[in-house]
Amino acid sequence: MSEALAAELEEAKHVIPTLEGFTLVTCVPAQVRAGYKQTDYKHVNVILQFPDRYPQEPVVIQLTSKTLSERLLASLVRMCDEDVRGRLGQRQVLPVMRYVREFIVNNPLCVACDEITAIKRHLIAEMDKLKLKQELSAVHLKIVQDLYWMNLKLTVPDNYPVEQVSIEAAESNFPDLLKKFFVGQALEIARRCAQPPLKPKPRDPPFKPRPSLLEVCQFLVTECVKRYPQLNCPCCRERVMLRDPEAVAKDPRKRVERVYCGHLYHHGCLAKYLKTPPFKEGKFCPDCGKQIFHEKWRLPPELAEARWASKQARQRELAEVTDFLS
Ligand SMILES: [Zn+2]
Ligand SMILES: [Zn+2]
């Protein structure tokens, strides 16, 4: 062992345990091994080995982790390697340790690396946008379908995945009612990833939190933003969200209503359907057969029948008057 290496190891032995988050495991000429832990899931082992011509040659770096993705570790090794190649002839052990720590601290989204890759590869299309805001630990998405779009902000908390992602629908041109519904459902999906069920079944294995980012994005992108603009109204069979999002303002009858079964109707179509017989035993969704409940039209069948009858009678009277006058 060279004197230079001996001196460097002596320094490392003293300094590494004082670096925040580090535990020194081994510090001998054959190997330096230390663990860096920011949270239970941001935990990485750094293993360094010294080639014969060290420090004229770069130290050999290996990173392992039970929680961080292989792909992330491989690219972090490449970055560390590039950094030490700029330090040939100098001490490299502490710089590697500091580099690893800085990377984990400055890239809080590293804990969701595989999920983010899956979102990029499988969920978003060419016209959509995904931006990582490492300084905010957030993923910003703009999802587009036809002329509809929604901006979403998903924030990955510090102790992810023990804590779930938070979800915010920023601007969008979706009806407010749908935006609220999308976010509400997405929050529930995220909650189920991070919190045990309220009523666990006795045979269930013990609850373990799981990552929520990808599941939430799958729902918001595939099940919501990409899907809803393509749905048809169960009554008129036309697109329930007008192809031109601006057109709804001019025609309130084309406003979207969501009923209990989850199907969407044009306001006008639903109103007409609910006020037209048969009323017996209630009104049912033509698409799924479930009974329609909607807070705006909570009429018992008898009352609906009576109203319909009186409207018909009025129309007959009116027709008689018109006949009489003509
Ligand atoms: Zn309709
Ligand atoms: Zn339905």
Task: Read off the pLDDT of residues 190-224 as tens digits, 9 standing for 90 and up.
Answer: 999 999 988 888 888 889 999 999 999 999 999 99
- Rounded CA-CA distance 273/284 in Å is 10
Rounded to the nearest angstrom, the distance between the alpha carbon of 150 and the centre of ligand 2 is 25
- 234 alpha carbon, closest ligand: 1
Share of the chain above pLDDT 70, in %: 95
Rounded to the nearest angstrom, the distance between the alpha carbon of 293 and the centre of ligand 1 is 17
Rounded to the nearest angstrom, the distance between the alpha carbon of 146 and the centre of ligand 2 is 24
Same domain, 119 and 178: yes
Across the range 11-38, mean pLDDT stands at 97
| Strands 256-258 vs 264-266: parallel, antiparallel or unpaired | antiparallel
The neighbouring-strand residues paired with 266 are 256
- 286 alpha carbon, closest ligand: 2
Count of the separate structural domains present in the chain: 3
pLDDT tens digits, residue range 149-165? 999 999 999 999 999 99
Same domain, 163 and 267: no
- 251 alpha carbon, closest ligand: 1
Q: Which of 140-144, 160-164, 289-293 has the lowest mean pLDDT?
A: 289-293
End residue of a domain, out of 168, 198, 230: 230
Q: In which domain, by residue range, is 186 found? A: 111-230
In a domain, 61, yes or no: yes
End residue of a domain, out of 88, 106, 124: 106
Contact of 270 with 294, CB cutoff 8 Å? yes
- Rounded CA-CA distance 21/125 in Å is 39
Same domain, 249 and 223: no
Rounded to the nearest angstrom, the distance between the alpha carbon of 232 and the centre of ligand 1 is 8
Contact of 212 with 193, CB cutoff 8 Å? yes
- 270 alpha carbon, closest ligand: 1
For residues 308 and 256, the model is more confident at 256
> Is 137 exposed, middle or buried (CB count within 10 Å of its CB: 0-12, 13-18, 19+)?
buried
Asked if the model's pLDDT at residue 325 lies above 70, the reply is: no
Asked if the model's pLDDT at residue 291 lies above 90, the reply is: no
Contact of 8 with 93, CB cutoff 8 Å? yes
68, 211, 225: which is closest to 141 by C-alpha? 225
Supply φ then ψ for residue 117, to 5 degrees: -60, -45
> Is 265 exposed, middle or buried (CB count within 10 Å of its CB: 0-12, 13-18, 19+)?
buried
Rounded to the nearest angstrom, the distance between the alpha carbon of 260 and the centre of ligand 2 is 8
Rounded to the nearest angstrom, the distance between the alpha carbon of 192 and the centre of ligand 1 is 35
171, 177, 296, 152: which is closest to 248 by C-alpha? 177
Rounded to the nearest angstrom, the distance between the alpha carbon of 47 and the centre of ligand 2 is 58
Same domain, 13 and 69: yes
86, 262, 246: which is closest to 254 by C-alpha? 246
For residue 322, what pLDDT is reported?
A: 64
In a domain, 235, yes or no: no
In a domain, 194, yes or no: yes
End residue of a domain, out of 86, 106, 126: 106
In a domain, 291, yes or no: yes
In a domain, 295, yes or no: yes
